């Protein structure tokens, strides 16, 4: 559905990415979606800085993500789980108030891509993304299929500095710019 073209004349720039599963029922060993994200991002040349599992609790989700956002070495955080409609699904409520800039296009593209795989069931996800400080945060559903779709359909390209015509990596040096001034 989506095409991706890489400028192979550029050297690949690996990012450092953290992965957190939001779940009341999983631990690191049983978190297959988070494990899949780690495998895929590392297979594409990125570094997984850390993995964690936190319960479906707004404050605990925020605490984990904010700890990683505070780490200048971490470029992006991927959350998996908690984006549905059950009473315990609170990942968007935890993350969206922290976004300095929302990435509405991520949700739109995720739903378009996901609908090609699961049809109208895609509507049951509240996948979201945004920027907290200079760290990209992508909130994905908890299923392996949804995580695969998000990585293969969107994130692989946007987190690759060689992706044309543009990508998030080339924007990263300017993320902290304010009032037209780029920090050194």
Domain hosting 159: range is 12-172
Residue 20 CB contacts under 8 Å (≥ 6 apart), including other chains? 34, 51, 52, 53, 54, 61, 64, 65, 68, 77, 78, 79, 80
Confidence at residue 165, expressed as pLDDT on a 0 to 100 scale: 93
pLDDT for position 183: 47
CATH number at residue 130: 3.40.980.10
Position 116 in a domain: yes
- Compute CA 111 distance to the chain's CA centroid, rounded to the nearest angstrom: 14
User: Is residue 84 in a domain?
Assistant: yes
Is the pLDDT at 33 greater than 80, yes or no?
yes
Is 97 inside any structural domain? yes
pLDDT above 70: percentage of residues in the chain: 95
The pLDDT tens digits for 123-172 are 999 999 999 999 999 999 999 999 999 999 999 999 999 999 999 999 99
pLDDT, mean of residues 162-183? 82
- For residue 103, being part of any structural domain is answered with yes
Please report the beta strands in the chain, taking only residues with DSSP state E, as ranges in sequence order.
Answer: 5-6, 16-22, 47-54, 76-80, 101-102, 128-132, 135-140, 163-164
Q: How many CB atoms lie within 10 A of CB 7?
A: 12
Q: Please determine, for residue 184, whether its predicted confidence score (pLDDT) is greater than 70.
A: no
The string of pLDDT tens digits covering residues 61-77 is 999 999 999 999 999 99
How many domains is the chain built from?
Answer: 1
Instruction: Go through the chain and tell me how many residues it has.
Output: 184
Considering the entire predicted model, what is its pTM? 0.94
Q: Is residue 114 part of a domain?
A: yes
In a domain, 2, yes or no: no
Neighbours of 109 (CB within 10 A): 19
Concatenating the DSSP letter of every residue in 133-151 gives TTEEEEEE-SSHHHHHHHI
Residue 153 lies in a domain: yes
Residue 167 lies in a domain: yes
């Amino acid at each position: 559905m989506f095409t991706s073209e890489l400028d192979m004349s550029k050297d690949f720039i690996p990012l450092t990415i953290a992965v957190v599963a939001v779940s009341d029922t999983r631990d690191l060993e049983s978190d297959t979606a988070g494990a899949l994200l780690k495998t895929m991002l590392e297979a594409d040349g990125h570094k997984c800085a850390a993995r964690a599992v936190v319960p479906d609790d707004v404050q605990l989700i925020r605490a984990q993500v904010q700890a990683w956002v505070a780490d200048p070495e971490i470029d992006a955080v991927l959350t998996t789980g908690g984006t549905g409609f059950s009473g315990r699904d609170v990942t968007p409520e935890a993350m969206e108030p922290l976004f300095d800039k929302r990435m509405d296009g991520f949700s739109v593209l995720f739903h378009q891509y996901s609908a090609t795989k699961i049809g109208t069931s895609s509507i049951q996800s509240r996948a979201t993304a945004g920027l907290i400080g200079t760290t990209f945060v992508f909130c994905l559903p908890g299923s392996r299929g949804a995580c695969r779709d998000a990585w293969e359909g969107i994130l692989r390209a946007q987190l690759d500095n060689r992706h044309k015509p543009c990508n998030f990596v080339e924007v990263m040096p300017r993320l902290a710019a304010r009032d037209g001034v780029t920090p050194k």
